[in-house]
Structure 1
Amino acid sequence: MTRQPAGTEVAYTVTWLEMTERPGYPWPHAPANIPVTLLPSDTPPVWYFLALYDAVGRDHAWEDMHAEDPETVRAMLHHPDVTLYTLLSDGWPHGFFLLDWRRPGTCELAYFGLVPEAVGRGLGTFLLQTAVHTGWDRDGIEKMTVNTCTLDHPRALINYQKNGFAPVRQEERSRILTRDRDLSRIPE
């Protein structure tokens, strides 16, 4: 089956991860054959964030933010301790990450991912390591956190671990899909 229709109940496992010290790897270099720009935005419009969220997460059942009140999303996006970073190449967004420093001493990598058309081009490690270093660059950070689930990209958990995050907790959950999920676009 390559499509899970809206209304399907899916079971999944959520894994929370932490990094309690700055990573030992250096700031990454973008892949040599792909010109990229990384743009921060402290006050993006809600529609822009939701467009990126949907482009990256549609096939991974990222649905929760679409159900949020737009004013709640706007307040989060415009908080002075939250920044959205967009990875651009060839004039269009290839991915994004959102860092949230609202909890003292902690940077949460709240959202991270590439659009399907950018997966497999060598941009994922560059973007993740850039997100990690950017998170740690704020004064007073004692740990970074992130969570992923088995609905995300199949290599998400291992990539977070390869880049310095360690699992601290797991939880089994289920949800009813509110939109169709195209499994044919998710690599094995």
Structure 2
Amino acid sequence: MSNIAVTTWSLEQTDRSDLLPAAAPEGDVRVVRAEVPSPEFSRFLYASVGQDIRWTDRLGWTYEQWRAQLEQPGVETWVAYDRGTPGGYVELTPGDDGVVEIEYFGLIPAFRGRRIGGHLLSYGTARAWDLAERWPGLAVTKRVWLHTCSKDGEHAMDNYLRRGFTLFDTKVEEEREVATPGPWPGAYPA
């Protein structure tokens, strides 16, 4: 396979008041925290959301690597459900000194374009800001950040900017182009 140029943008909020929430979508859409660390469920979400946008960094992880990530104090997975079906997720990972990364965020392809993404990002960002309230011993959140790249969905950057994130870094790097199998080969139409 060949190499492709990938632009990565890093964005942040430095105050809770930076968050500009999206309106909740119509219908029975709920965002629920997955409180029991489940490597199987988290891998399903990761592979299903990232199947068409080439998320590959965790595909080779072992069960133990998934478990170690999910069992870190303060790591949280928030899942958007549409009428009981998981449609996307946001994974929060605390760092040092009150910095929280939105490590993963996205929707399964069938749930995109239905106003769920803005709502889920708003909800997840709010949970990043109040993370220390649920995890005694964590520093109070002072900064929430994330990164997106040119492989992500066409509306990703606009969603982040509309939620009040501001750009603080841009990098362009060559990456080896890889095919992603998704949750199973052929799961998403090309």
TM-score using structure 1 length: 0.85
Letter of the structure 2 residue corresponding to residue 175 of structure 1: R
* CA separation of 1:168 and 1:28: change in aligned 2, threshold 3 A: closer
> Are the equivalent residues in 2 in contact too, given 1:15–1:171 (CA < 8 A)?
yes
The share of aligned pairs that are identical, in percent, is 28
> Are the equivalent residues in 2 in contact too, given 1:82–1:102 (CA < 8 A)?
no
Q: Distance in 1 between matches of 2:94 and 2:153?
A: 25
* CA separation of 1:180 and 1:86: change in aligned 2, threshold 3 A: closer
> Are the equivalent residues in 2 in contact too, given 1:15–1:149 (CA < 8 A)?
yes
**One of 5, 9, 24 as aligned partner of 1:15:** 9
Q: Aligned ranges for residues 1-188 of structure 1 at < 5 Å? A: 7-23=1-17, 29-31=23-25, 33-139=26-132, 140-173=140-173, 174-179=175-180
Letter of the structure 2 residue corresponding to residue 177 of structure 1: V
> Are the equivalent residues in 2 in contact too, given 1:16–1:148 (CA < 8 A)?
yes
Q: Distance in 2 between matches of 1:114 and 1:66?
A: 17
- Alpha carbon RMSD of aligned pairs, Å? 2.3
Letter of the structure 1 residue corresponding to residue 110 of structure 2: E
Q: Distance in 2 between matches of 1:135 and 1:113?
A: 16
How far does residue 176 in structure 1 lie from its aligned partner after superposition? 2.8
Letter of the structure 1 residue corresponding to residue 3 of structure 2: E
How far does residue 27 in structure 1 lie from its aligned partner after superposition? 5.7
Q: Distance in 1 between matches of 2:157 and 2:11?
A: 9
Tell me, which stretches of 5 or more residues in structure 2 are unaligned? 133-139
How far does residue 25 in structure 1 lie from its aligned partner after superposition? 5.4
Number of aligned residue pairs: 178
> Are the equivalent residues in 1 in contact too, given 2:55–2:180 (CA < 8 A)?
no
* CA separation of 1:147 and 1:24: change in aligned 2, threshold 3 A: closer
Tell me, which stretches of 5 or more residues in structure 1 are unaligned? 1-6
> Are the equivalent residues in 2 in contact too, given 1:81–1:102 (CA < 8 A)?
no
Q: Distance in 2 between matches of 1:167 and 1:108?
A: 14
How far does residue 29 in structure 1 lie from its aligned partner after superposition? 5.0
Q: Distance in 2 between matches of 1:137 and 1:83?
A: 12
Q: Deviations over 1:130-170 (max 9, x none)?
A: 11111111341110010000000112112111211111111
